[in-house]
Amino acid sequence: MVQGRHILLIIGGGIAAYKSLELIRLLQKRGATVTPVLSRAAEQFVTPLTASALAGSKCYRDLFDLTDEAEMGHIELSRAADLVVVAPATADLMAKMAHGLADDLASTLLMATDKRVLVAPAMNVRMWEHPATRRNLDTLRADGILTVGPDDGAMACGEYGPGRMAEPPAIVDAVARALADGPLTGRHILITSGPTHEPIDPVRYIANRSSGAQGTAIAAALAGMGARVTFVTGPAAVPPPQGVAVVRVETAAQMAQAVEAALPADAAVFAAAVADWHVVGAGASKLKKDGSGKPPALAFAENPDILKTVAHRPDRPRLVIGFAAETDDVVRNATDKRARKGCDWILANDVRPETGIMGGTDNALTLITAEGAEDWPRMTKDQAARRLAHRIAEALA
């Protein structure tokens, strides 16, 4: 995947910049051409001469180099590469990317590129865990920026925790994945995942036991096959996959809005466990006991039916896939659901507590199509995701 490809490597100004020199060597060993770019701060850690010598090409660092800019060098650099890699991606550089700042060559290249971007974050653990960094990371992922790492480990400052830049071999593997042309390259696939939380009052909500693990695995498998994935997730127990555009929601109504905004798509996989009902007039203040011993009276209204709405759109995705979590008559209920919703496929599973499926690591699915029911053996959710991804690729071919 890397052989013969051109990598634009932007080196941020962190102590991990020394690892970028090893990254250049490993990428070249895999047959890639590397053009290094130093941020202003990076020059405090590695020299342009060293980066240039290892890359065997000019190292760029000045936005206002008259020779290069006479030919709009920052535009050419940003678009001539097959992939832009930022390693290390410091907190400052990630903030610039998230907010569209372009005050040096590195940040201007990132604004001007039309190619995929892979970042390898590296910073102090406190900086990594700061709310501003988390917001910026969410923004970058929502923009389709790919990430690798960071790892847990000892820091130059003496602290230990997440924030250590991924090792160069891991970054090279991520580069290979980013450059892979899979059977779903050029396809846009929408996925919903996780539970929804329907508020009762500011501190209480109605939810379900979905962990979001199956939807996350499906998103990762589809992205690994080259699809551009929009991942709409409720408050899941597992982190979202890398390399997808993440949209975080809480309620069913918010999920419906996010799905609408993400269309059109070639396929849509509705793996989220969406609440059927929401509380009417959820209180702005916490509900308190009044001493009478009587519970508060809650009124419910039906939530939007996201799967049915999308399946009946005139511009519906070519393939619409739903899930049916059942406790009784699994195949019959799922078959009825497929007809009622108007979707193409339904993946049904038995979520009785004794199965351990909801919230667990395994799944046992039955694929319901117009041709009938196909039982899949019990397998891990990652294996089930890969199997579904291959079936989707075949259907869209």
The reply to whether 157 belongs to the active site is: yes
Query: pLDDT tens digits for 254-279?
Result: 999 999 999 999 999 999 999 999 99
What is the mean predicted confidence (pLDDT) over 8-20? 92
pTM: 0.63
- Is 341 annotated in a binding site? The answer is yes
Other CB atoms within 10 A of residue 391 CB: 16
* pLDDT, mean over the chain: 88
Using the predicted structure, report yes or no on whether residue 368 has a pLDDT greater than 50: yes
Higher pLDDT, 284 or 371: 371
Give the integer Cα–Cα distance in Å for 395 and 374: 16
- How large a percentage of the chain has pLDDT more than 90? 48
Give the integer Cα–Cα distance in Å for 387 and 32: 32
Using the predicted structure, report yes or no on whether residue 130 has a pLDDT greater than 50: yes
Which range among 9-13, 43-47, 68-72, 370-374 shows the weakest confidence by mean pLDDT?
68-72
| Res 309: pLDDT | 97
Smallest CA-to-CA distance from 221 within 397, 7, 380 is with 380
What is the mean predicted confidence (pLDDT) over 138-152? 82
DSSP 371: T
Using CA atoms in the order 267, 268, 271, 275, what is the torsion angle rounded to 10 degrees?
Answer: -170
| Res 276: pLDDT | 93
Which range among 55-69, 199-213, 236-250 shows the weakest confidence by mean pLDDT?
55-69
Tell me if 367 sits within 8 A of 350, measured CB to CB. Answer: no
Superfamily of domain 188-396: CoaB-like (3.40.50.10300)
Higher pLDDT, 359 or 44: 44
| Res 66: pLDDT | 47
CATH 3.40.50.1950 domain span(s) along the chain: 6-179
- Is 350 annotated in a binding site? The answer is no
Query: pLDDT tens digits for 369-393?
Result: 999 999 998 888 888 998 999 899 9
Query: pLDDT tens digits for 217-251?
Result: 999 889 878 888 999 999 998 988 877 889 999 99
- Is 304 annotated in a binding site? The answer is yes
| Encoded tokens for 250 | 């809480």
| Encoded tokens for 83 | 């992939």
- Is 29 annotated in a binding site? The answer is no
- How large a percentage of the chain has pLDDT more than 70? 94
Q: Which listed residue (72, 111, 156, 157) is catalytic?
A: 157
CATH 3.40.50.10300 domain span(s) along the chain: 188-396
Tell me if 195 sits within 8 A of 205, measured CB to CB. Answer: no
On whether the 6-179 domain is CATH 3.30.750.24, my answer is no
- Is 300 annotated in a binding site? The answer is no
- Is 286 annotated in a binding site? The answer is yes
- Is 288 annotated in a binding site? The answer is no
Using the predicted structure, report yes or no on whether residue 67 has a pLDDT greater than 60: no
The DSSP element (H or E) to which 193 belongs, if any, is strand 188-193
CB-based burial label for 67 (10 Å; 0-12, 13-18, 19+): exposed
